[in-house]
């Protein structure tokens, strides 16, 4: 194997090593590119007079490539190398394959074309040539790459008549700048999107999760594997159902891995669902009226609902009495409840999951009303006072001490114009004409009260006592509506005395003598 061949093989090996050292991440691939750079060429041939041709260290390469896809294109161009022994030029074209990645682009090429040799001091000769090689481009910008290495094995055939080698087996190596034009978008990697329905559930309700795969090669059999952070999944189809029985409230994730069984043909996706806490119903209740008479009734109203939107049933109970009804209203019958006590009514709301809540309201049992007060006693006659007659000569005369007492009784009659007075006269058993004397004492007492104190005579009744004894007169005040029923007295027909102060007529005053 010639040095040129070994050099070419070494260059290709370097291309492969560099390509493997960089991750094959897809990026936009150019639709066309132009390369220009330096080229070193070892012809791998000899001439009769000078022997083996030396390497040509002066040279250039210019190529243009057009790509039909991200990976396959067509390259054409020429090279020129120079030395003191011969100048070599090529015009070649052929297919090329490259693999764009995030950082570098390795490529391979197979070229055929013209191989022209111009020996120094000789005649130019054209031959057919084949070049097989490749290289590695380092991405500098979106439009410019640095070609780190470009190495080809070059085989050429010439029909020399001067004894020079007819079959040239050499190698060329170079590097330069690549200008890129246009682009192919990188292939879209396989992907998957997951969705969960419904997204919010209560423990025990199923969740359906679906994985939608895209960008996989056509006619591939897709396999779905499912995992979940909570609950149980089943099957390996594009849809799975998650059993949420026994899960605590919280958020859970279901993940699907989609694969075809071939390398780099996988995708995964996740969807979340939430297990909601089971909230008990809420309820409030009230009574109308809040106070009833013993044995009375009250209406009970309840307002119940479920925060979770579940159906709710309402029931009632009472600490005493009897409550009947269901739903939003009930009736409390307080028969049997003690007066003065309170009845507690409990309203209970229960949903279809067995969760419940209570609320209470109070109904007071009133004490029975007190009995009406007894009617006021009927008015009764009462004794105002009594006066005494101690003058033995004038035993029926009302003296000054008696007048003072009578003034007080008269004042009471003046203050109560509807009241009347009864005067009862007494006599002593030892007194002569006692009945007459008792009448005079009553009559003289009345006379003082009517004539001196201005009491209407019709308001004063006179009577005598038939059972008692004494030298006195009792004065009674009889309110309106009252009856004087003092026992042992009797009325008499009064004869008004000539004067109220004594029992005898007054003598007329003597006339003054005339002059």
Contact 364, 408 (CB under 8 A): no
Query: pLDDT tens digits for 72-123?
Result: 999 999 999 999 888 999 999 999 999 999 899 999 999 999 999 988 877 8
Prior bond of 26 cis (ω within 30°)? no
Question: Quick one: 198 exposed, middle or buried, by C-beta within 10 A (0-12, 13-18, 19+)?
Answer: exposed
What distance in Å separates the CA atoms of residue 231 and residue 140, rounded to the nearest whole number? 51
Per-residue pLDDT, 466: 82
Q: What percent of the chain has pLDDT over 70?
A: 89
Distances (CA, A) of 437 to 253, 465, 487: 129, 11, 20
CA angle 462, 465, 467 (to 5 degrees): 170
Give CB contacts under 8 A, 24+ apart, made by 265-271.
265/190, 265/216, 265/217, 265/220, 266/190, 267/189, 267/190, 267/191, 267/192, 267/213, 267/215, 267/216, 268/192, 269/191, 269/192, 269/193, 269/194, 269/211, 270/194, 271/194, 271/195, 271/196, 271/209
pLDDT of 63 over the 50 cut: yes
Tell which wins on pLDDT, 490 or 26.
490
Give CB contacts under 8 A, 24+ apart, made by 401-405.
402/445, 402/448, 403/448, 403/452, 405/475
Give the global pTM: 0.45
Tell which wins on pLDDT, 427 or 510.
427
Query: pLDDT tens digits for 342-366?
Result: 999 999 999 998 999 999 999 999 9
pLDDT of 384 over the 60 cut: yes
**Strands (E) located in 319-393:** 322-324, 329-333, 342-351, 356-365, 382-388
The sheet carrying 207-214 orders its strands as 191-197, 207-214, 239-242
Give CB contacts under 8 A, 24+ apart, made by 288-293.
289/363, 290/361, 290/362, 290/363, 290/364, 291/363, 291/364, 291/365, 291/366, 292/334, 292/363, 292/364, 292/365, 292/366, 293/365, 293/366, 293/368
Query: pLDDT tens digits for 206-237?
Result: 999 999 999 898 888 999 999 999 999 988 89
């Amino acid at each position: 194997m010639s040095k040129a061949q070994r050099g070419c093989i070494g260059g290709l090996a370097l291309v492969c090593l560099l390509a493997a050292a960089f991750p094959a991440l897809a990026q936009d691939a150019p639709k066309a590119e132009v390369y220009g750079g330096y080229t070193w060429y070892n012809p791998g041939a000899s001439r009769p007079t000078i022997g083996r041709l030396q390497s040509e260290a002066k040279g250039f390469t210019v190529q243009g490539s057009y790509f039909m896809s991200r990976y396959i294109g067509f390259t054409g161009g020429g090279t020129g190398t120079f030395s003191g022994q011969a100048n070599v030029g090529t015009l070649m074209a052929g297919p090329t394959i490259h693999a764009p990645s995030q950082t570098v682009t390795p490529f391979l090429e197979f070229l055929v074309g013209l191989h022209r040799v111009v020996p120094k001091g000789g005649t130019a000769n054209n031959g057919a040539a084949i070049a097989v090689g490749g290289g590695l481009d380092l991405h500098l910008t979106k439009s410019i790459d640095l070609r780190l290495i470009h190495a080809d094995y070059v085989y050429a055939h010439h029909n020399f008549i001067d004894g020079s080698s007819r079959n040239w087996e050499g190698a060329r190596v170079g590097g330069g700048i690549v200008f890129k034009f246009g682009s192919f978008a990188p292939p879209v990697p396989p992907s998957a999107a997951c969705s969960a329905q419904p997204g919010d559930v209560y423990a025990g309700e199923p969740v359906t999760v679906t994985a939608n795969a895209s960008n996989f090669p056509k006619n591939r059999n897709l396999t779905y594997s499912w995992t979940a952070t909570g609950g149980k999944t089943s099957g390996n189809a594009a849809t799975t159902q998650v059993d949420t029985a026994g899960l605590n409230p919280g958020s859970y994730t279901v993940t699907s891995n989609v694969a075809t069984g071939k390398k780099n043909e996988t995708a995964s996706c996740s969807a979340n669902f939430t297990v909601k806490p089971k909230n008990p119903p809420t309820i409030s209740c009230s009574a109308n009226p809040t106070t009833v008479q013993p044995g009375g009734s009250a209406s009970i109203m309840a307002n119940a609902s479920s925060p979770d939107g579940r159906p709710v049933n309402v029931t009632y109970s009472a600490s005493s009495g009897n409550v009947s009804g269901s739903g939003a209203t009930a009736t409390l019958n307080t028969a049997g409840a003690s007066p003065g006590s309170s009845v507690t009514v409990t309203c209970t709301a229960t949903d279809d999951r067995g969760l419940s809540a209570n609320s209470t309201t109070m109904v007071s049992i009133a004490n029975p009303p007190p009995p009406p007060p007894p009617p006021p006693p009927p008015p009764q006659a009462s004794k105002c006072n009594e006066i005494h007659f101690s003058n033995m000569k004038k035993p029926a005369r009302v003296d000054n001490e008696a007048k003072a007492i009578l003034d007080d009784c008269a004042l009471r009659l003046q203050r109560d114009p509807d009241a009347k007075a009864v005067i009862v006269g007494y006599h002593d058993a030892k007194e002569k004409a006692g009945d007459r004397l008792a009448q005079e004492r009553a009559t003289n007492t009345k006379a003082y009260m009517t004539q001196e104190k201005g009491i209407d005579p019709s308001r004063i009744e006179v009577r005598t006592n038939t059972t008692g004894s004494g030298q006195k007169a009792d004065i009674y005040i009889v309110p309106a509506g009252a009856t004087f029923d003092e026992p042992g007295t009797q009325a008499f027909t009064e004869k008004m005395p000539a004067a109220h102060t004594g029992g005898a007529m007054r003598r007329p005053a003597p006339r003054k003598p005339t002059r």
